[in-house]
Amino acid sequence: MTKCRVSQRARKKKPGSHRTEPPIMPTRKIGVLLPGIIVFAVIIAVDMWFCRKASASPAGGQVSQIEEAFATSDNNEPYNLSSGRNLTAEEQDLALRKEQLEVASRLLADFSNDTNAAFLMGMAYFEQGNVVETEKYLQKSLEFLPNRADACDHLGRIALLKGQYERALTLFRRVLENDPATPGIHFRIAKAHVFLGNFKEAVLELQKDIGIFPDAGESYFLLGETYQQLKEYQKAKENFEAAIRIKPGYTKAYYGLATMCARLGLKDESRQLQQKFKQLEAEDRKAGRHWRQVLDPLMVTRRSVAHTHTDIARVYHKHGNSDQAEQLWKKAATLDPNNVECRFHLSALYLQNHKLPDALKLYEQIAGIDPNNGVAYFFIGNINARMNRFEEAEKAYRKVMKVASKRSDGYRALAQLYLQNNCNLPEAKQLASRAVELEPAALNYFILAAACDKNGDSAGALWAIKQAIELEPGNAQYRRMQLLIREKK
């Protein structure tokens, strides 16, 4: 097995850094209630906001002994195999790594002509640092989908690590051509140019990256280094300064800035910056020692395997095997108590199957993991509303308004709740108006029309429903509501 620096990089990276393609796009599903003349859109099942939706059909695959053990064990307890003894941390790590590859292999066996299956087989090897096998399966995924941007991106990164800079540049250009919105792609193209000595080309790419991501401290730093190579020391100095403004503890940027100040004859400033650099370097070494002391390799592996299972489950669900998807998402949630993505997928599955209490429990877990996750609170509100828990729904929607105050969802949902329960009607109108201010969408105008009608404002109701119809002229519900308001008037 061939290994290189990819191994450590892969094991340290955050979960969620690779995704199956083609992406599963967010969708909206709307159910309808008719209290009197008012039509209320109730958000059900999946994806009113950022969650993903996948389709569904059956395929095989049994849960392994290791999966069963984890499904019934505490998160922090060593699990047992048939030997009846607890496994050491090292044995658990090895077992999980084996499981990671086995699950990916099973997926590829079940769907041998699926680009996602080949891609995730490659990413399972990537997580374990096996560069040769990673490249083999990422290339295989490109046989099924030649313009697959994420596969080209990962192959390009590996080429950079291996010093194959021309190849990396070619691959990154393919990414840019097929998915120009890929985060950091201009930065990586610039990096390849720097290694090839194409400094002017690198400058252009870094300027594009900064234009897209103005807070990209690494891009300013690399731009500073590139200008240094071009002997444009004043521009280099300005970009090192920009990097430090964005990341005040950016150790390498202080060294670059000190060097540029020395080149420009600013000796006192250079001396002060050298001292700051040495101070930060010492702090970095201390932090590195502490990090190595507290690092839990088994937890790193568990997170890695949970991430792999989460993505593989999406492919099974896409192919219709929701049972296997559910098992893998549950396993991922058990392995990593902080994995939000698997919980979102699993809760969406439960909503589709009308398992409201199970879905609610998962959204509450997500809110516990990430107290500022407006999506979780939004669904907590929706489910409680459907279960006729008014106070819990109201509390959740107010939390959405707090943590996602620039989005219309919380305001609209709370307005709907009040209208459905025929209470707090003046506030419902204010909330609906705020939703329209934030997002002048047809659904928001529709709820505003209902709120105006409930408050006896026929003129406001007619105006709002007119706006909704202009945005969605084919919506029969909106037109029915307009007729009913006119008859009432």
pLDDT at 484: 94
Position 28 confidence tier, pLDDT thresholds 50, 70, 90: very low
Q: Dump pLDDT digits (tens) for 459-487.
A: 999 999 999 999 999 999 999 999 999 98
Neighbours of 489 (CB within 10 A): 10
Q: How far apart are CA 211 and CA 214, in angstroms?
A: 6
pLDDT of residue 86: 85
- Residue-wise pLDDT for 154-188, tens only, equals 999 999 999 999 999 999 999 999 999 999 999 99
Q: What is the pLDDT of residue 170?
A: 97
Cis, bond preceding 23 (omega within 30 deg of 0): no
Identity of the amino acid at 366:
I
Q: Residue for token digits 């505003």?
A: 448
pLDDT tens column, 354-378: 999 999 999 999 999 999 999 999 9
Q: What is the mean pLDDT of residues 204-232?
A: 97
The answer to whether 183 touches 152, Cβ cutoff 8 Å, is: no
Q: Percent of the chain scored above 90 by pLDDT?
A: 80
pLDDT of residue 489: 66
Question: Is 205 in contact with 226 (CB distance < 8 Å)?
Answer: no
Share of the chain above pLDDT 70, in %: 82
Task: Decide if pLDDT at 78 tops 80.
Answer: no
**109-115: average pLDDT:** 97
The number of residues in the chain equals 489
Alpha helices, DSSP H only, in 111-229? 115-127, 131-144, 149-161, 165-178, 185-196, 199-212, 217-229
What average pLDDT does the structure give for the chain?
Answer: 85
Tell me: pLDDT of 56 over 70.
Answer: no
Q: What is the pLDDT of residue 337?
A: 96
Write down the pLDDT at residue 218.
97
**pLDDT attached to residue 4:** 36
Which H, E and C letters describe 463-480, residue by residue?
HHHHHHHHHCCCCHHHHH
pLDDT digits (tens, 9 = 90+) for 421-454: 999 999 999 999 999 999 999 999 999 999 999 9
Do 161 and 6 meet the contact criterion of CB atoms below 8 Å apart?
yes
What band does 293 get if pLDDT is binned at 50, 70 and 90? confident
Handedness of CA 159, 161, 162, 165 (dihedral sign): positive
- With 70 as the cut, is the pLDDT of residue 3 above it? no
Give every CB contact of residue 211 below 8 A, 6+ residues apart in sequence: none
pLDDT at 313: 98
What digits encode the pLDDT tens for the residues 325-339? 999 999 999 999 999
Query: What's the mean pLDDT in 259-284?
Result: 96
Per-residue pLDDT at 85: 62
pLDDT at residue 50 above 80?
Answer: no
| Domains of the chain, first to last | 30-49+344-488 (1.25.40.10)
Which pLDDT score, from 0 to 100, does residue 96 have? 97
